[in-house]
Amino acid sequence: MAENDISIIHPRPSSIVAALYTLRDLNVDVAILHGPPGCSFKHARLLEEDGIHVVTTALDENGFVFGGRDELSSLLTKVNEMFNPKLIGVVGTCASMIIGEELREPVQDANLDVPVIEVEVHAGYPNNTKGVLIALESACDAGIIDPEELGRQKILLEEATNVEKRHGAASREYLTPSRGDLKYKVAEKVIDYLKEGKRCLTIMNAKKETGYMFADITVAINEVASQLGMEDNVINMANVDDTLGLPRVRHHAKSIMDDFTEKGITIHENIGGMDEYPITGEKVSGLITEKYSDFDFAVITGVPHAIPMDNLQEMEVISVTNGPRQVIPLKEMGHENVIVEIDLHPKTLGVNNIVESEFGATIREVAKDMLERNSEAV
């Protein structure tokens, strides 16, 4: 590869994996990876925790040369008998796509009375959103989603790519991963600010199921504010509109909002659907200008780099992400503190309720110690 051809050299998310997660959001019962048995192993295993079966045609060297049409057709018949699915997805891999394997023919060979979404994708696309787009276009062709939803998703995908190129993992040639700032130090800062009567904005701008953990940080801040008698100083924003998005995405929004309500947390501003994280920034900026420009600090969770800094310049910004390569870009945007929830993905698959975050747990424990010390001093 010529040096001038290098644009981004750190590893990035795969289009194959993105297609798998999109099939999950479409509520497929079985996803078949047409390729070698180890392809996308980690995410395939994680997705089984989220309630879908992920299997592989397990192509070997012979299949790499002569193809796997018969293997895929046979596997389609087998999974139909084993799992009695209502919807199946078939995803290409680098191996099957490079040899020109077409997915339509083995699907026709199997002749199942079950809709099948065929996703002819490999991992060679510059942006992993390509895998999402191919899956959605195929789903539209199969009648699973309508053209209006496909058009909406295309707009979101384009902006998601732009967000990553502006301030995300695609913003430069190489980004060093980082665990960010120490959680207990930042927790002390947040609690001190609340004790001093400073006004806080919590902004949850989460991507799909990741909201189950980022929502816990909103809950923890509100719990501590309530203990300090400062609950009126906290305004909560969250993208939990359950009328927008693919079926599983709408389910996540409803589940999280139900948990907020059960825990007594008021979401003062619902800023969009859980797939709208790339486009919520403009709405958040408008709300700050109209109502909250005099607030002292903001805690932004999920995809903080999608929120423009224009109207946050007068506030101290603390952000929480699950991307270790996101720390440097966020610091450069002007975020004073950046925290990484490193284990977020494994803990938010297969759940239907808010799960405890490390930062949320740290806020609770630090507040508990501080309040006990204050009580003993009195």
pLDDT tens by residue, 297-337 = 999 999 999 999 999 999 999 999 999 999 999 999 999 99
Torsion on CA atoms 329, 128, 306, 224, rounded to nearest 10 = -90
What mean pLDDT do residues 200-216 have?
98
| Per-residue pLDDT at 193 exceeds 90 | yes
Classify residue 180 by its DSSP letter: B
- Angle 370-371-373 (CA atoms, 0-180°, nearest 5)? 65
pTM (predicted TM-score) = 0.93
Give the model's pLDDT for residue 1.
43
> Going edge to edge, which strands form the sheet with 53-56?
53-56, 30-34, 88-92, 116-119
| Per-residue pLDDT at 2 exceeds 50 | no
